[in-house]
Amino acid sequence: MSPITKTTRALVASVAALALTAPATLSADHHANNGTHMTNPAQAHDLIPRDALFGNPTRAQGRISPDGKWLSWLAPSNGVLNIWVAPADSPDDAKVMTDAADRPIRQHFWAPDSKSVGYIQDKGGDENFLLYKIDVASGVETTLTPYENTRVQIIGGSETIKDKILIGLNNRNPQFHDVYLLNLNTGESELVLENNGYAGFMADDTLTVRMAMRQNEAGGTDYFEVSDNEVADEPFEATAMEDSLTTNPAGYTTDGSILYWIDSRGRNTAALYAQDTATGEKTLIAEDDKADIGGTIRDPKSGVVEAYSVNYLKNEWVATDPALRETLDWLGSQFEGEFGISARTDDDMTWIVWNEPLTSPTKTYIYDREAGTLTPFYTSRPELEGAPLQPMHPVEITSRDGLTLPSYLTLPPGTDTDGNGRPAKPVPMVLLVHGGPWARDGYGFNSIHQMLANRGYAVLSTNFRGSTGFGKDFLNAGNKQWGLKMHDDLIDATDWAISEGITGADQVAIMGGSYGGYATLAGLAFTPEKFACGVDIVGPSNLETLLSTIPPYWAPVVKIFHERMGDPNTEEGLALLKAASPLYKADQITKPLLIAQGANDPRVKQAESDQIVDAMKSAGIPVTYVLYPDEGHGFAKPANNIAFFGIAENFLSECLGGRAEPLGEVLEPSTTQIVEGAEHVKGLEEAIGS
């Protein structure tokens, strides 16, 4: 199935997109080394260069056109990721199709008619994504949405109407996306539905809008039938706030007779249902006691579900179609580690399949179902072949009030001498916190885990309450618990690692992006003696100002923030937000802190980092502050990522005693600006002057 077909934007997808995701008062002993210089076995293993982990992949995101005639992928051209296309029967005859010279192209897809490839791109991380397409025959590139301050959404594609898609544009009103029918070949668009209040829409295979979604007063979602592009007055389905992030429609079959739901109403974990669109009757297809049903694999022609995934500690596919089950079982026997399907032809005879062995680089294959053959396509990072990559260990940690926290642990090379998933003796550790918070950590290759483990640290990622995928009870246990029980879970995970002999009580750093950056600030401000240091990447410091500066296109779902964080329009809610804001306790930070921020971040504005840095300076507290003028919510440019992680690893080396690749001239190709505290990171002053 082409990624652009069967695409839907349910309200839950909008909320997932708006989540804070990504990738101290320093005391007089700021330069003290809590872990002393390391003598653990990691030193005996090769230092993996930063470039190999955070630089451009050799190739990535392999695709095959729906008609099976073309292969495509992302690869560097003049040092920047661009789209390449080659005939499927002659992969070596590849041509670069785009000319991105600054910001990398990070995702691409085929038009249903296989005549063009498309991609979306913003400017400097501002998340105003526009849609572009390149005609394969002529190589001509066209901006399909040539508007300023506009963010495009893909609302629907079709298996039978190959040259058109439905898109949403907020160029008329930044809060709401109007629905347009876009001709991918001519670039002409036609207004289908003017939107003055809905968060999202869903269409069927005829590119007819069938459903509209709107947040209700309770913070849940109302679902309205759409007929002749008119939205019904009353919803035909609704959720309460408790189900708003665990229930969503998952698309229609091609004939429109079945609407699939991932649904947690009346239960804890979200199950997969098929609803008869004529009668409204629902049939349970799949459920799991520990985790929500995740993705599905559909028949490319009929749109009928053939398999579904369950991701508790690891992602597992369960096939309902016997032929697909046989195929998935065979693929599973060919690979070690995780694998998945990234593209399928219309006839379903050729797949692009990736394999992630974890301890060797990710590989991608062309799978011929009829012949039963796997042909190597590419290795994403061949420079990691033979590198001391480490396995990831899924673990379950119990919180102080009895919740099970699914977590992932990576250990430094050579420290797990008996293979039991524990080091022979305690090592320094980094608690790496995911963003969202309505997101999750998962099993698989993780560049940050691998870099930190290679430098001599255990790395622990914990799904704290409020994380998604583990049922609505676990998710809703995080409601209005920012800085409270959500933070307690991170402390409990740290204490577990100490009790298990993984690390020592004075050897733990906290690090994360977005919500993980907030958790870092909270960790150093609310529990200043718990962590040896912290690394905050685009994290909010003041929850009141965070909510007051959300992007306009989040306005239709702002109630979710208020119900799950605290309502700034009420006295009680405002007090809760202030109490959970690290800014107000910045003067209690006593451990080294590194802050990184993108100047164009629309989710967590630069002011969130500026204000806590100013507060620390006013209190006479050292802090290191790194700014990227051409980045947003996370860093897209490899040169910036390499530079930042170079600073971070040298910062952690001073704090925890791990090893680090010297900074050298790593800042030169990046746009790194050191706003404050270069003197607190080993080699940074010299790197600035180099």
Q: pLDDT tens-digit profile of 625-675? A: 999 999 999 999 999 999 999 999 999 999 999 999 999 999 999 999 999
Using alpha carbons, select from 84, 173, 442, 481 the residue that is nearest to residue 292.
442
Residue 612 pLDDT exceeds 70: yes
pLDDT at 20: 60
- Residue-wise pLDDT for 465-482, tens only, equals 999 999 999 999 999 999
pLDDT, residue 44, reads 74
Asked whether the predicted pLDDT for residue 4 surpasses 80, the reply is no
Taking residues 617-623, report their average pLDDT.
Answer: 94
Mean pLDDT, residues 368-396 taken together: 97
Query: How far apart, in whole angstroms, are the C-alpha atoms of residue 306 and residue 319?
Result: 6
Burial class (CB in 10 A: 0-12, 13-18, 19+), 409: buried
Mean local confidence (pLDDT), 126-142: 97
Q: Which of 65, 264, 514, 541 is catalytic?
A: 514
pLDDT digits (tens, 9 = 90+) for 562-606: 999 999 999 999 999 999 999 999 999 999 999 999 999 999 999
Instruction: Give, in order, the Cα–Cα distances in Å from 672 to each of 394, 537, 605.
Output: 35, 14, 17
The 3-state DSSP class for residue 615 equals helix
Burial class (CB in 10 A: 0-12, 13-18, 19+), 429: buried
Average model confidence (pLDDT) across the chain: 93
Confidence bin at 290 (pLDDT 50/70/90): very high
Confidence of residue 28 (pLDDT cuts 50, 70, 90): very low
Catalytic residue among 633, 653, 670, 680: 633
User: What is the share, in percent, of the chain residues with pLDDT greater than 70?
Assistant: 94
Question: Would you place residue 8 in the very low, low, confident or very high pLDDT band (cuts 50, 70, 90)?
Answer: very low
Residue 37: the pLDDT is: 39
Evaluate whether 20 touches 514 at the Cβ level (below 8 Å): yes
pLDDT surpasses 80 at 16: no
Reported as a single tens digit per residue, the pLDDT across 266-282 is 999 999 999 999 999 99
- Res 244: pLDDT: 95
CA distance linking residue 23 with residue 448, whole number of Å: 9
How would you label 626-642 residue by residue, b for 16+ Cβ within 10 Å and e otherwise? bbbebbbbbbbbbbbbb
Per-residue pLDDT, 9: 30
pLDDT band at 43 (very low <50, low <70, confident <90, very high): confident
Assess whether pLDDT exceeds 60 at residue 24.
no
pLDDT over 50 (residue 23)? no
- Res 19: pLDDT: 53
- Quote the pLDDT of residue 132: 98
Please tell me which residue in 205, 536, 601, 630 is annotated as part of the active site. Answer: 601
- pLDDT at residue 45 in the model: 87
Residue 401 has pLDDT above 80, yes or no: yes
Q: What is the pLDDT of residues 489-538, one digit of tens each?
A: 999 999 999 999 999 999 999 999 999 999 999 999 999 999 999 999 99
- The residue ranking higher by pLDDT, 4 or 472, is 472
**Average of per-residue pLDDT across 166-172:** 97
Cis peptide before 3 (omega within 30 of 0): no
**Amino acid identity for residue 204 in this structure:** D
| Close Cβ partners of 436 (under 8 Å, ≥ 6 residues apart) | 19, 20, 21, 466, 467, 468, 514, 515
Question: Quick one: 151 exposed, middle or buried, by C-beta within 10 A (0-12, 13-18, 19+)?
Answer: buried
To 10 degrees, the CA torsion angle through 21, 25, 26, 27? -150
Q: What is the pLDDT of residue 31?
A: 30
This prediction has a pTM of 0.94
The percent of residues in the chain predicted with pLDDT above 90, rounded, is 92
pLDDT of the residue at 689? 83
Listed in sequence order, the DSSP H helices in 382-540 are 447-454, 472-476, 485-499, 515-526
Told to judge if 601 belongs to the known catalytic residues of this protein, a careful annotator would answer: yes
